[in-house]
Amino acid sequence: MTQPPRNDQPAENDQPPSADQQKSAAATEPVDDLITTNHSVTIDGEQLSYTATAGRIVLRREVHTDDKFDGPLPKAEVFVTAYTVPSADPARRPVTFAFNGGPGSSSVWLHLGLLGPRRVVMGDVGDLLPPPYQLADNPQTLLRHSDLVFIDPVSTGYSRATKGEKSKDFHGYGADIESVGEVIRLWTTRNGRWMSPKYLCGESYGTTRAAGMARHLQQRYGLYLNGLMLVSAVLDFGTHEFAGGNDDPYALYLPTYAAVAHYHGKHGDRPLREVLAEAEEYAGRDYLWALARGSRLTADERAAAAATVADLSGLSADYVDRVNLRPEHIRFLTELLRDRRLVVGRIDGRFTGSDSDYGREKWSSDPSIDAITGPYAAAFNHYVRAELGYANDLPYEVLTDRVRPWSYAEFENQHVYVLEALAAALRTNPHMRVHVDCGYYDLATPYFAAEHSFAHLAIPADLAGCVEFSYYEAGHMMYLHEPSRLAQSDALAAFVAPARS
* pLDDT for the residue numbered 118: 98
pLDDT digit string, tens, across residues 285-317: 999 999 999 999 999 999 999 999 999 999 999
Helices marked H in 64-204? 108-110, 173-190
Domains of the chain with bracketed CATH: 27-238+373-500 (3.40.50.1820), 244-365 (no CATH)
Model pLDDT for residues 94-103, shown as the tens digit of each residue = 999 999 999 9
Q: What is the C-alpha R_g of the chain?
A: 24
| Spans of the chain below 70 pLDDT | 1-27, 499-501
CB-hemisphere CA count at 13 Å for 122? 22
pTM exceeding the 0.85 threshold for the entire prediction: yes
Cis amide linkage into residue 103, ω under 30° from 0: yes
> What's the farthest any 2 CA atoms get from each other in the chain?
87
d(CA 136, CA 115) in angstroms, rounded, equals 13
Separation CA 330–CA 332 (nearest Å)? 5
Q: What is the pLDDT of residue 8?
A: 37
Distance CA 344, CA 164 (A): 43
Residues recorded for the chain: 501
